[in-house]
Chain A
Amino acid sequence: DAKTTQPTSMDCAEGRAANLPCNHSTISGNEYVYWYRQIHSQGPQYIIHGLKNNETNEMASLIITEDRKSSTLILPHATLRDTAVYYCIVRRNNQGGKLIFGQGTELSVKP
């Protein structure tokens, strides 16, 4: 599975959009981009995933560049409860695909 690169930490003001970048320049054609987050001392929570089209759900939007070498997770109106470590993971979407976690981005939403 391809590796990802994310900034170690980011700050965001409450109520503003949080844009979390991820580089995955070695992604292959059958690998999806997944985003999870982990609030302190809890299990990871699934946010969103996509292959090449932009995706949106009730939690966030995922923007994937045309060459698929990078993506951005957007939390449109960040709240204090969105403070967490956000993990960008690429994975084959089949029985053998495993979620391998990198170091993630520690997002701090400040009042």
Chain B
Amino acid sequence: GAVVSQHPSRVICKSGTSVKIECRSLDFQATTMFWYRQFPKQSLMLMATSNEGSKATYEQGVEKDKFLINHASLTLSTLTVTSAHPEDSSFYICSARGWGGQGSYEQYFGPGTRLTVT
């Protein structure tokens, strides 16, 4: 139980285009979802927090118009990187918080999406 999936696992796009990444909680309902970004040899950096049906709350320094987050249901959140540039190349990881398979209310992570902007 408590599985979080992301799609795609890898994506390569050209500079200036937009990319959408999906995050799904497969066997539980996620009241809150989080998006993180990780550059090589660095730790995870929280980008934003979203509650189902509400606007996302972005961390300081994260451009909300560039990283569009939609949390339309209790099992799906999407992150759209608009007008991507090479410096947006990174490992994007989503996380969902809810009641997992072992009866605990915890935060579970997806496998990540590797974005490369050329």
Q: Does B108 contact A (CB under 8 A)?
A: yes
- CB neighbours of B34 from chain A (8 A): 98-99
B46 touches A99 (CB 8 A): yes
B43 touches A42 (CB 8 A): no
How many interface contacts (CB-CB < 8 Å) are there between A and B? Answer: 44
Interface residues on B, range: 20 to 34
Secondary structure call for the B interface: strand
Instruction: For the complex, give the distance between the alpha carbons of A46 and B114 in Å.
Output: 21
Q: With both chains docked as a complex, state the minimum distance between the C-beta of A25 and any C-beta of chain B, in angstroms.
A: 20
Q: Does B93 contact A (CB under 8 A)?
A: yes
Interface residues on A, range: 10 to 19
B43 touches A103 (CB 8 A): yes
A interface vs B, CB < 8 Å?
36, 38, 41-46, 49, 87, 95, 98-104
